[in-house]
Amino acid sequence: MTTVSLSPNGDFLTLDLSGQPCRFHAIWLRDNAQDSETRAPGNGQRLLALRDIPAETKLVAAEIAESKLQVSFAPEDKTVEFDLSWLAANAYDKAAPMEKGWLSEGVEPWDSGLMSDVPVGDFQDLAKGGPALRDWLGKVTRYGFGKIENGPTEDGALFDVVDLFGYVRETNYGRHFEVRTEVNPTNLAFTGLGLQAHTDNPYRDPVPTVQVLYCLESSAAGGENMVVDGFAAALRLRAENEAYFNVLAKYCARFEYAGDAETCLQSRRPMIELAPDGELIGVRFNNRSLGAVNDVPFEEMASYYAAYRRLGEIIDDEAMEVTFRLEPGEAFVVDNTRVLHARKAYSGAGTRWLQGCYADKDGLWSKFSALSAQFGG
Amino acid sequence: MTTVSLSPNGDFLTLDLSGQPCRFHAIWLRDNAQDSETRAPGNGQRLLALRDIPAETKLVAAEIAESKLQVSFAPEDKTVEFDLSWLAANAYDKAAPMEKGWLSEGVEPWDSGLMSDVPVGDFQDLAKGGPALRDWLGKVTRYGFGKIENGPTEDGALFDVVDLFGYVRETNYGRHFEVRTEVNPTNLAFTGLGLQAHTDNPYRDPVPTVQVLYCLESSAAGGENMVVDGFAAALRLRAENEAYFNVLAKYCARFEYAGDAETCLQSRRPMIELAPDGELIGVRFNNRSLGAVNDVPFEEMASYYAAYRRLGEIIDDEAMEVTFRLEPGEAFVVDNTRVLHARKAYSGAGTRWLQGCYADKDGLWSKFSALSAQFGG
């Protein structure tokens, strides 16, 4: 049985939710009232600003009936109802803060073990929307990447992928860019190095939060795509050496790109990005566009470089990577704030033509949430 | 005279730059070498990853000649040169860290005093590029907003403004949105409230970092546009009550928008955003889309709400605002991570037609930097 009691001065109430006492402030309850004078019934937008709510707001009555909490406020003389389930879901009277690097619910770090269960969707199914799209988007939000198979092999087909969940982020590289290479067997010796796994465009702020890479032709041997979970790499660094994790999160790196006279992109952001309360929310890793890091104090620079080196070693560890080969009509989508990607070296003769573009992940998460609300899940 | 000396074990050197001793680590110098084997001569991209540089890199020789520092590394047996001016500009052996809320050089907070000097550009001049565009973009980067006059009055003219510096960020609202109102004099009573100044789309992550609002028709009285510097508001809050500033920076708010069955945008970001080393880099303020804040511990929620209220009062203070009226062919651009905007109430009969769109500020800053490199400034 749920009970409620008011504090002596009406500043807060205590709700006993499944045996767990949980306090809510008067001002919080008033500001979050769900009635039609406070929130627009259609889109849920708040109709009041905090300036419209008296600073001295107190609770003067509270009672529970039929899974609802009814509360009355003074001096407004206003009574509103809350669903107990809504209060339970939005309770903020919690235990101690979590350790630095905590992950949002629904985000799961992975390593090469995911190779046997790469998140894949069939383009024809996804294009219908509904539960198939919900499931695939759910995997992309959980793992930060997803593969698509069985798509068209037409120039521009990558835009059909973006249409599934969002909008192209146009940049100085255009609405899309070409990754077209004629493989030249006489140059085989030079293809062995490959690119270190990286996130794209860290010199942009905001970075493009999603990248789509779509394969149109692929007759060359090799050229597999490889992805590494930057969150898993950061958490492994933390497990190995917490000071290394902390120094990469505490100081900003600098990234820059000046490809032509028209372009001079620069950013100042950390390699490991935490929300102010410690949630791990982003990874930037790109040796090619790292500028001169000059915001780390002299006393910590050696440690910073050692941490940067070790993070790179973890990223390079094959135990962290998932590889797959894109065939024509196949694509992959990565959360560019989290998952690093690379291309393995080519070998043999043939052609390889991919198209890439950027998009944003707020649209992707929004689509997933909307489909989940509509179809459950 | 500049002198240089090596540390006993070659881990770092000490440069005497204008009487200021300044230390640089061997690994930092090696990683930031400017030679053509380390950096691509064209675009400056680094050709090596840190894994290609030995962890045990030491300095074995250093000397100064003709404004350059020449250093040699072991075990690579590699010698490179640095311009002393480049080293001075990138020195990291600095004094104590700055206080929370420091601003990047070139960013200037403002209040209503800026009314007499609103950053304005003539569209015809700006469209030519060059110094005029550099100067106007420089003001936008400095103040976070700028006005444009003397532009075309055609449907879609706002895209010409975006073309000056970047690319449209398309969202679920489209590539642009209409702000078209038939003013109805019988409804005058309902126009008095106006909208509280706000940043747009805080429920998006990343938020659109630039907004353009372009006026095509404006025969109604009133409807002035108003902007408030969110950085100045945050710094005033800090000056008044540092604990208020800190609590809004330390905890994430929640923002959400679910306008239709297809859209369910949610974000978890602080109202005052600091880089990990304390730089003030963003403000999110929007009463309509603030969700239930549930990441603030019970013990700090009352203080959080008091801080949020006080920040709103500062934002509402006329001493903070700059107002101007947009006539047909005029537009304004705001840095949506910093400057809040609002529209004052209409009065009288007539029409008002504006078009708005979003873009990103990395392109704007890039264009400004590139023009500054080209034309000085």
Nearest by Cα to B49 from A322, A268, A309: A309
Burial (CB < 10 A; 0-12, 13-18, 19+), residue B245, is buried
* pLDDT score of A193: 54
Structure tokens given for A353: 């033509």
* For A292, nearest residue in chain B (alpha carbons): B32
Amino acid at B176: H
pLDDT tens-digit map of A285-330: 999 999 999 999 999 999 999 999 999 999 999 999 999 999 999 9
Report the alpha-carbon distance of residue A370 to residue A362 in Å, rounded.
12
Global pTM value: 0.96
Calculated CA dihedral for residues A151, A152, A158, A161, nearest 10 degrees: -40
Nearest-CB residue to B93 (from A48, A257, A298): A298
pLDDT tens-digit map of B296-322: 999 999 999 999 999 999 999 999 999
Determine the Cα angle at A340 with ends A339 and A344, to 5°: 135
Q: Which residues of B touch A168 (CB under 8 A)?
A: 170
Beta carbon pairs, A and B, within 8 Å: 238
Indicate yes or no: CB of B46 within 8 angstroms of CB of A172.
no
* pLDDT score of B183: 57
pLDDT tens-digit map of B243-294: 999 999 999 999 999 988 889 999 999 999 999 999 999 999 999 999 999 9
Report the alpha-carbon distance of residue A340 to residue A334 in Å, rounded.
8
Q: Over range A74-99, report the average pLDDT.
A: 93
SS (H, E, C) chain A: CCCEEECCCCCEEEEEECCEEEEEEHHHHHHCCCCCCCECCCCCCECCCHHHCCCCCEEEEEEEECCEEEEEEECCCEEEEEEHHHHHHCCCCCCCCCCCCECCCCCCCCCHHHHHHCCEEEHHHHCCCHHHHHHHHHHHHHHCEEEEECCCCCCCCHHHHHHCCCCEECECCECCEEEEEEECHHHHHHCCCCCCCECCCCCCCCCCCEEEEEEEEECCEECCEEEEEHHHHHHHHHHHCHHHHHHHHHCCEEEEECCCCCCCEEEEECCEEECCCCEEEEECCCHHHECCCCCCCHHHHHHHHHHHHHHHHHHHCHHHEEEECCCCCCEEEEECCCEEEEECCEECCEEEEEEEEEECHHHHHHHHHHHHHHHCC
Report the alpha-carbon distance of residue A140 to residue A375 in Å, rounded.
18
Q: Which 8-state DSSP code applies to residue B135? A: H
* pLDDT score of B188: 41
Q: Which of A204, A277, A311 has the most B C-beta neighbours within 10 Å, making it the best mutation to test the interface with B?
A: A277
pLDDT at A80 over 60: yes
Question: CB count, 10 Å around CB of A50?
Answer: 20
For the domain bounded by B3-89, which CATH number is listed?
3.30.2020.30
Indicate yes or no: CB of B262 within 8 angstroms of CB of A204.
no
Query: In chain A, where does the domain assigned CATH 3.60.130.10 lie?
Result: 112-375
Q: Which residues of A touch B269 (CB under 8 A)?
A: 275
Strand, helix or coil at B248?
helix
* For A130, nearest residue in chain B (alpha carbons): B262
Indicate yes or no: CB of B256 within 8 angstroms of CB of A44.
yes
Q: pLDDT band at A188, cuts 50/70/90?
A: very low
pLDDT at A276 over 90: yes
Decide which of B106 and B193 is more confident. B106
Q: Which 8-state DSSP code applies to residue B205? A: S
Q: Which 8-state DSSP code applies to residue B168? A: B
To which H or E segment does residue B183 belong? Answer: strand B177-183
Nearest-CB residue to A290 (from B46, B258, B269): B46
Structure tokens given for B82: 């640095």
Residue B116 to chain A, least CA–CA distance (Å): 29
CB B205 within 8 Å of CB B374 = no
Q: Which fold does the domain B112-375 belong to in CATH?
A: Double-stranded beta-helix (3.60.130)
Nearest-CB residue to A205 (from B23, B270, B362): B362
pLDDT tens-digit map of A11-54: 999 999 878 899 999 999 999 999 999 998 878 899 999 999 99
* pLDDT score of A184: 52
CB B109 within 8 Å of CB B142 = no
State chain B's mean pLDDT as an integer.
93
Question: CB count, 10 Å around CB of A132?
Answer: 17
pLDDT at B191 over 60: no
pLDDT at A187 over 50: no
SS (H, E, C) B277-299: CCEEEEECCCHHHECCCCCCCHH
Q: Are strands A145-149 and A120-122 parallel, antiparallel or unpaired?
A: parallel
Residue A271 to chain B, least CA–CA distance (Å): 11
Indicate yes or no: CB of B275 within 8 angstroms of CB of A270.
yes
Q: How many residues does chain A have?
A: 377
Indicate yes or no: CB of A206 within 8 angstroms of CB of B204.
no
Structure tokens given for B19: 């009487």
Q: Over range A251-274, report the average pLDDT.
A: 95
Nearest by Cα to A233 from A280, A291, A177: A280
Query: In chain A, where does the domain assigned CATH 3.30.2020.30 lie?
Result: 3-89
Least confidently predicted of A51-65, A155-169, B20-34, B93-107: B93-107
Report the alpha-carbon distance of residue A309 to residue B53 in Å, rounded.
10
Q: Which of A20, A103, A170 has the most B C-beta neighbours within 10 Å, making it the best mutation to test the interface with B?
A: A170
Question: CB count, 10 Å around CB of A371?
Answer: 24
Residue A116 to chain B, least CA–CA distance (Å): 29
* pLDDT score of B190: 40
Residue B283 to chain A, least CA–CA distance (Å): 14
ipTM exceeding 0.90, yes/no: yes
Indicate yes or no: CB of B287 within 8 angstroms of CB of A32.
no
CB A369 within 8 Å of CB B266 = yes
pLDDT at B192 over 60: no
Whether a cis peptide bond, with omega within 30° of 0, leads into B75 is yes
Question: CB count, 10 Å around CB of A302?
Answer: 17
Indicate yes or no: CB of A302 within 8 angstroms of CB of B11.
yes
Q: Residue B184 region, left (φ>0) first, then alpha (ψ -120 to 50), else beta?
A: beta
Amino acid at A129: G
